[in-house]
Structures are given as C-alpha cells and as structure tokens.
Amino acid sequence: MGKFVFSAHTCALIGLLCIFTTVLFPLVSATLESAQQTQKQQEIKTIIFDLGGVLFNTDKTSAFKQIGIIKVLNYLLRLHNPFQITKKLYNILDAVCPLPEQAPRALTPDGSRLLPKVFHDWLSGRHSPAQISESVSLFISQHPERFASATEQQLIKAAAQMTFTPQSIAKIQCPVQAGVEFVKKCKKQGFDVMILSNLDAESFKLLQKKYSNVFELFKKENIFISGKMGQIKPDPAIYETLLRDRCLDPSSCIFIDDQKENIESARKLGIHGILCKKKKGLLCSSPDFAHVQKELDKIVKGTTTIASIV
C-alpha cells in the first residue's frame, strides 16, 4: 500500500512537472524574453546625426556655378576630365602643408585618401577659412609648374576658394528632406536627437541661419561642431567630449555617419553605429534612409551587435 501511495505521489509530481514544462515554462520564458526586449528598447535613448552626407548634400550644379561655368567649359575644351578637379585639389593641398605621421586618420569624403592637413586645421578651427584660403591661393599662384595649363591653375584656384569660403559652402549645401523627416520621426518616438559634424564654425553659423527650420529640431546644447570643439572625427576625443558633456552612456547612443572610419571610431567607445549608405539617383546619389531605418530597428530590438552593421 505504501509503495502504491509513493508511486501515486510520484506520478502526480511527474504530471505537474510535465504541465510546467509544456505549458507554464514557455509562458514564463516568453514573459522574461519580453521583459529583456523591453529593457533593450529602453537602453537606446539618443541618436546622433552627422550633417554632410547625412542631413545635407552638396548641390553639384551650384558648386560648378560657384567655381565658374566658363572656367569649367574651358577646362573641358582642353580635353581634361572635370571629375579630376577634386583629386588635383587634394594633391595641391597636400603640397601646401604635408600631413604629419601622427595625424588623425580622417579620410576624404569619397574615402580614397587621407584628408589633407589643411582640412584638419580648417575643420578643427585651428585656422580661419580666410587664412587658409589666402595661403592656398598664394601657393597656387606661386607654383604654375604643378598644373597642366593656366586654365587648370585658374580652375583649381577657384575650387579652393569655394571650398574654404563659408558663404560658398552655405550656398551649395541643401537639406536632405528624407533625413529631416527621419529626425522628426525619431523625436516623435521619444529619442533625443543630436548633431556631431566636421565643419568650421563660420560655415555652420551661416548654414544654421539659412536652414533654421532644420536646426530648430535640435536643442542648442545637443549640437556639436568640430570647429567649435577643436577636435575632428574620427579622433576618439571628439566622441568622448560629446559623451562627457551630455553625461551619456555610449551604449545608449546610436551614431549615424556616411564615413566608415567615423563609425568604427565611435563603435570602439561602445557607441552603436549605422553607416549611412547612398542610393543612386538619375543625376546624383542621396542618403538611403530606408536602410538607416532598417538598421536602427535592428539595434533597438536588440537583434544585432555594435560591430555587425557595416
């Protein structure tokens, strides 16, 4: 009889265990997973945006007008490739002031080469745009031997003046509407939005005034410009300054930039990164915010790691 009672109790316990395993355990697991998921979603609080190549694009038609249509046409008539203008300009800037070995590993927008030291000095605010424009123009005038023709020399000089003139920069930059709408969407979802951009202070001031509707989306204290900070991306110091100034946990932030080295530098500090890729249009490319949204969703839902988005 005792054995029978013991066996009945055992069977009852086994039955209860089976019920827990097949019914209750999955429910408990689902509840815990849901709680963890909610916790992950709450971790992301801040989204940091770059400006150039993300929220703003260069209007190439306006850029050519700034350089001078006649100069460009004369250049074409001499069978020169107009797409080599930028490359030639970088070569000249490297000659004006060679890049030291210990310089930050910032790259040109196309990622093809290291950014000339002149750009470092300009973007960090070490020298004013007027000082840089004057020294570059003087170098170009004094070294005609570095150019294939007088026409090329004049064109590169005009391109340099446009590059380092804040008024010209403000004229050729235009907001990416998809990016502006994305910022608004992020704010509606409860994210704090910020700006971290490599730009000189004078150009930023003009851009901010011209497109006040864009910059009004951001709190004044949430806008970080390299020319005001004395630091440039991808130097880790610029990210550390932002995090320290706003008392942010890097794991609670997502940084969106169009240059891979900037994203990689941020990730090394624990900041989530999304590379803003380009989608090709009929005449030009533009930031692909459908891709950005997809990657943002992955991070917020906790389905990806910091280093996996490329």
The reply to whether 144 and 235 lie within a common domain is no
Question: In the prediction, which pLDDT does 283 show?
Answer: 61
The reply to whether 105 and 137 lie within a common domain is yes
Strand partners, 48: 194, 255
pLDDT band at 61 (very low <50, low <70, confident <90, very high): confident
pLDDT at 7 > cutoff 70: no
> Among the three residues 141, 171, 201, which one is the final residue of a domain in this structure?
171
Per-residue pLDDT averaged across 137-164, rounded? 93
The reply to whether 52 and 64 lie within a common domain is no
Residue 47 belongs to a domain: yes
The Cα-based distances of 68 to 75, 79, 89, 254 in angstroms read 11, 17, 16, 40
Residues 90, 124, 64: CA angle, nearest 5 degrees: 40
- Which CATH number does the domain housing residue 220 bear? 3.40.50.1000
The reply to whether 188 and 53 lie within a common domain is yes
Q: Which domain holds residue 286?
A: 43-57+174-308
What is the residue type of 195?
A: I
Residue 28 belongs to a domain: no
pLDDT band at 76 (very low <50, low <70, confident <90, very high): confident
The reply to whether 111 and 227 lie within a common domain is no
Answer for the pair 104, 120: CB distance below 8 angstroms, yes or no: yes
pLDDT band at 229 (very low <50, low <70, confident <90, very high): very high
The reply to whether 110 and 218 lie within a common domain is no
Q: Can you give the pTM of this predicted structure?
A: 0.81
The reply to whether 74 and 147 lie within a common domain is yes
Question: In the prediction, which pLDDT does 42 show?
Answer: 44
User: How many other C-beta atoms lie within 10 A of the C-beta of residue 252?
Assistant: 16
> From CA 234, how far away is CA 225, in angstroms rounded?
13
The reply to whether 209 and 259 lie within a common domain is yes
Q: How many domains does the chain have?
A: 2
The reply to whether 113 and 229 lie within a common domain is no
Residue 37 belongs to a domain: no
Q: Which residue has the tokens 């040109």?
A: 108
Q: Which position has the higher pLDDT, 255 or 36?
A: 255
The reply to whether 158 and 243 lie within a common domain is no
